[in-house]
Amino acid sequence: MPKKPYRTAHQRELMGHILKAAGEGKFLTVSEMHAAITYGASYGAVRKSLTALEEQDMIQRQKRGRNTIVVPTQRGYDWFRPKLA
């Protein structure tokens, strides 16, 4: 049986920014996410949270020229979107 993903408050906030931007038709870079977060964290902490989300198959990183963008996967949408009643 697969292990249930662990979602911290910081990961939830990051996914909120990722999903909001994806809904608007754009994808964020790590530096854009670092500027958007409300908690004080280093770039390394943001990258570590993104690595954990990537290992849980919630996001994918894709190269776009010199930048790397973060794209949510279907599993990321399913786990972090509120359920409609």
Q: pTM of the full predicted structure? A: 0.82
Domain boundaries, the chain: 9-79
Task: Please name the amino acid found at residue 61.
Answer: R
Give 38's contacts (C-beta < 8 A, 6+ positions apart). Answer: 13
Nearest CA among 84, 82, 83, 62 for reference residue 15: 82
- pLDDT tens column, 22-63: 999 999 998 898 898 888 788 888 889 899 999 999 999 999
Looking at domain 9-79, does it have CATH number 1.20.1250.20?
Answer: no
| Dihedral pair phi/psi, residue 37, rounded to 5° | -70, 150
* Distance in angstroms (rounded) separating the CA atoms of residues 43 and 32: 11
Is pLDDT above 60 for 85?
A: no
